[in-house]
Amino acid sequence: MNPRELTTRKVHAALEREPRINIHRHRIRIESRDGAVVLEGEVADVAAKKLALEAAAGADGVRGVVDRLRVAPGEARGDGAVRDSFARMLLQQPEFRNCTVGLRTNERELELRKATDDGVGDIEISVTDGVIVLEGHVISVSHRLFAGVLAWWTPGRRDVINALELEPRYEERDDEVTEALRLALEADPLLEADQIRPHCRDWVVTLEGAVPTEEQRRRAELDAWSLSGVDKVINRLQVAR
């Protein structure tokens, strides 16, 4: 067996061991290139995507991972519909009320709202093949992360690239990640978040408390996985029956 085939088999085995990744329902193509591994295909949700990348990176002999995974959308929608839905959601959130928001397509750029001088940022939205890209800047980690979560909630999206920068730059803190998740949980229309207690340490999120259904338990965990940079979620939520 040549080294490339051996690496591919090790990555495949690592993916099979992760219960959140169903490679029989959502096939992931694995290609090994001189120690780097390319993952391509569709997965069920953002948790499966991040866990697949982590599992591949941890396989013996892998020196890098190229991410070409997409998340299967709940419904098929064109790029324009995805872009407009996300823009409306962003504009409606109180945290982005004083934020400049613009759209970029192949043909033009459109400014949807102009912030005042002390605004919270400048966000430009583009969508290509269902992938939402956020560019520009915001004033805090919580604004950057919350914008990314809203993008993941958008019907029809297949991936999210959160390239927003902090302006001014400063050291990111765990409490801001926790605050971003708290904002997301409270804004999620499918959740009753009153009894959820989120915590973050070194980009590992822990959820504690109670929710009324198993579906809400799963939903809260997906909201946590939707935070850019979070690479592990510990779900200790109890289902209160």
CA nearest to 177, candidates 148, 219, 218, 136: 148
Please state, in angstroms and rounded to a whole number, the distance separating the CA atoms of residues 149 and 224: 8
Kindly state the tokens that stand for 112.
């949807």
Q: Are residues 160 and 178 in the same domain?
A: no
Q: State pLDDT tens for residues 176-226.
A: 999 999 999 999 999 999 999 999 999 999 999 999 999 999 999 999 999
pLDDT at residue 240, as a whole number: 85
Which CATH number is 188's domain given?
3.30.1340.30
Do 144 and 118 belong together in one domain? yes
Instruction: Give the model's pLDDT for residue 72.
Output: 95
- Give the bridge partners for 210, in sequence order: 238
Dist. CA 57–CA 139, nearest whole Å: 32
Q: For position 118, what pLDDT does the model report?
A: 83
| Spatial CA neighbour of 86 closest among 139, 123, 119, 120 | 123
pLDDT over 80 (residue 241): no
- Sort 125 into a burial class: Cβ within 10 Å, 0-12 / 13-18 / 19+: buried
pLDDT in tens, 52-83: 999 999 998 899 999 999 999 989 999 999 99
Report pLDDT for 1.
64
- Last residue of one domain, picked from the residues 138, 166, 194: 166
Residue 109: other Cβ atoms inside 10 A:
10
- Cα gap 204→16, rounded to integer Å: 23
Q: Are 55 and 18 in contact (CB under 8 A)?
A: yes
Question: Is the same domain home to 148 and 127?
Answer: yes
Provide the 3-class DSSP secondary structure of residue 158: coil
CATH number of the domain that 19 lies in? 3.30.1340
Place of tokens 């992760």: 18
- More confident position, 34 or 170: 170
Instruction: Give the C-alpha separation, 170 to 173, whole Å.
Output: 9
Residues 92 and 136 in one domain: yes
CA–CA dist 199, 173 (Å, integer): 12
Q: Say what the pLDDT of residue 84 is.
A: 96
C-alpha to C-alpha distances, 119 to 96, 157, 183, 211, nearest whole angstrom = 9, 27, 19, 35
- For the segment 43-55, the average pLDDT, to the nearest whole number, is 96
99 and 160 co-located in one domain? yes
Boundary of a domain, candidates 166, 186, 210: 166
Domain endpoint, select from 149, 166, 183: 166
Domain range for 201: 174-239
In this structure, the answer to whether residues 59 and 89 fall within a common structural domain is: no
pLDDT over 70, % of the chain: 100
In angstroms, the CA 206 to CA 220 distance is 11
45 pLDDT band (50/70/90 cuts)?
very high
Residue 42 neighbours by CB distance under 10 Å: 16
What's the pLDDT at 24? 84
Does residue 183 sit in the same domain as residue 161?
no
Residue 117 shares a structural domain with residue 148: yes
Average pLDDT over residues 4-27: 91
pLDDT for 144 beyond 90: yes
Spatial separation of the C-alpha atoms in residues 240 and 6, rounded to whole Å? 46
**How many structural domains is the chain composed of?**
3
Residue 100 sits in the same domain as residue 159: yes
